[in-house]
A and B are shown apart, each in its own frame.
Chain A
Amino acid sequence: MMTNLGNRITQGQFSFLPDLTDEQITSQIKWALKNDWAVGVEYTDDPHPRNTYWEMFGIPMFDLKDPAGILLEINECRKTFPNHYIRVMAFDSTQGGESPAMSFIVNRPKQEPGFSVVRQEVDGRAVRYTVRSYAADKPENERYS
C-alpha cells in the first residue's frame, strides 16, 4: 500500500496503470475474443484482496465476435453500479486450461479510502496482521456513496 499513492486497489492486470479508456478496454477484449475465451463482467464493493468471487453482472458471454457487445454490458454495469469496482474476466474453457485468462478493473469508486492494518500480538512476540478496508465498515451497497 505504501508504494501506492491514493490507495487505488491493485488487483488483476493493468491496475498500476491509469484507468483504461474504453478504446483500450476494447483492444483487450479483442484479444480475449481472438483466443475464444468467454468474457464476463463482475462487480463488488468489497475490495479485500482475498475477496476472489465478485458478483456476476449477467452470465459470461460466449461466442461473441466483436467487443462492442461486451462494452455494452460494461456500460450497463457502470450505469447500475457507478461507484463499485467492476472488472472484466476472460475465461479459458479449453480442456486442461479451465481457468481465468485475464482479469482487469474497468470501473472503480471515486474515493478509495484504502486499508487499515491491525497488528495482533500473540504467542510471545509473534504478530498476526489483519487488513481491513475502511469502506467495508459500512454495509454492502453503502460503502462508497
Chain B
Amino acid sequence: MSETNDNSKQEVLPDDTEVDLQAEFKNSQIQEVLDKLDQDLIGLKPVKTRIRETASLLLVDRVRRQLQLSSMAPTLHMCFTGNPGTGKTTVALRMAEILHRLGYVREGHLVSVTRDDLVGQYIGHTAPKTKEVIKKAMGGVLFIDEAYYLYRPENERDYGQESIEILLQIMENNRDDLVVILAGYKNKMDLFFHSNPGMRSRIAHHIDFPDYHTDELFAIAKLMLAEQSYRFSKDGEKAFGDYINKRIQMEHFANARSIRNALDRARLRQANRLFASASKKLTKLDLMTIEAEDILLSRVFKEDRLDSDAETTSSNRS
C-alpha cells in the first residue's frame, strides 16, 4: 500500500538538520511509564535497564524514520524469560504501554494467551482459533505465556506446529499491526528456539528476568500490603522474614506470586483472628495489621514438624 511513497520526490534533509531528542522523548511521555515501572516494581535492575534501552532505541529509530534515514519498521517481537512470578506479565503490560506511547502499536492493549487458546482439538480447529486470538491482539501486544508448549516434538502431528506457522507469518507480514511477546522458563525457551529457528530469527529483544533475593521479596511483600492498606506488626515483619526464608526452599516456589498468595492467606487468617476476638475492642489499626500469628499458622512452619504427617497432603501451596 505504501508503493506511492516515491522517495525521489521527497526532499532530502541536509545532514545538519537539528534533532531535538529530548523534546521527542518528552512528547512521547514514556518517562511516566518508566517511572511507574521503577516505582511499582521492586528490584529487576537488569530488566529495567533493558526496557529503558529498548525505549531509547525505538525513540531514536522513530526520529531516524522521520528523517528518512531508515524506512523499515523495526522488528519489535520480544522474548521474556524467567521463572514464574518474576514479573514477566507485569512488565509486558508496561511494554505495551511504552510501545503505544511511541506509536509502534495503535491501541496498546495486551492479550495474554497460552497454548490452549491457540491450538485446537481436531483438524481444522487450530487455524481459526489462532487467527481469532491474533485479530483480538491486533493494534496491541500478544503475550504468549509458556510459548514452548506450542511445539511438541514427541508428537509429529501436533496441531501446535500449525499455530506456530500462522504466528510466524503474521509476525513477518503484519509488523505494524501486532507485537508478539513470548514468555516462559529460560531453558525451555532456548530449546524451543533451537528447534524453531524461524521463531528465533523474528525475535529482536530477549530479556531475562532473574529470581528475586529474599530482601527483594520482602520489599515486594511490604509494597503489596501497602497497596491494600495493610502493614506488618513488628513481630509480623519478623515472622514473614522467616516465612520467606523457608518458603524459598520449598517446592513450587514462584517468586512474587508466592508472596502475593501468602499475603492473601495471611489476610484471611487475620480476619478470622479478628472475628474470634470480637469481644475485644478493635481499632482501625487492628484491621490494618498483620500479626506474627497470622503468618506463623502457615503450613510452611509446620513442615519440619509434620513432615510425615498425613495431613500435609491437603495443599501444596500454603
Contact = CB atoms under 8 A, between A and B. Distances in A.
A76 to B, nearest CB: 9
Nearest to A66: B139
B138 interface: yes
What secondary structure prevails in chain B residues at the interface with A?
A: loop
Nearest to B111: A65
Nearest to B139: A66
Contacts of A65: 107, 109, 136, 138-140
A68 B128 CA distance: 16
Interface string A62-100: 011111111011000000000000000000000000000
A70 B131 CA distance: 11
A66 B1 contact: no
A68 B139 contact: yes
Nearest to A21: B1
Nearest to A63: B136
Is the interface on chain B under 10, 10 to 19, 20 to 34, or 35 or more residues? Answer: 10 to 19
B177 A68 contact: yes
B128 A66 contact: no
B186 to A, nearest CB: 31
Contacts of A58: 128
B243 to A, nearest CB: 41
Given A58-B128, A61-B135, A66 B106 contact: yes
A58 B124 CA distance: 13
Contacts of B132: 61
Interface of B: 1, 106-107, 109, 128, 131-132, 134-136, 138-140, 174, 176-178
Given A58-B128, A64-B138, 4 more contacts: A66-B139, A69-B135, A69-B138, A70-B135
8 contacts: A58-B128, A66-B138, A66-B139, A68-B178, A69-B134, A69-B135, A72-B131, A72-B138
Interface of A: 22-23, 58, 61, 63-70, 72-73
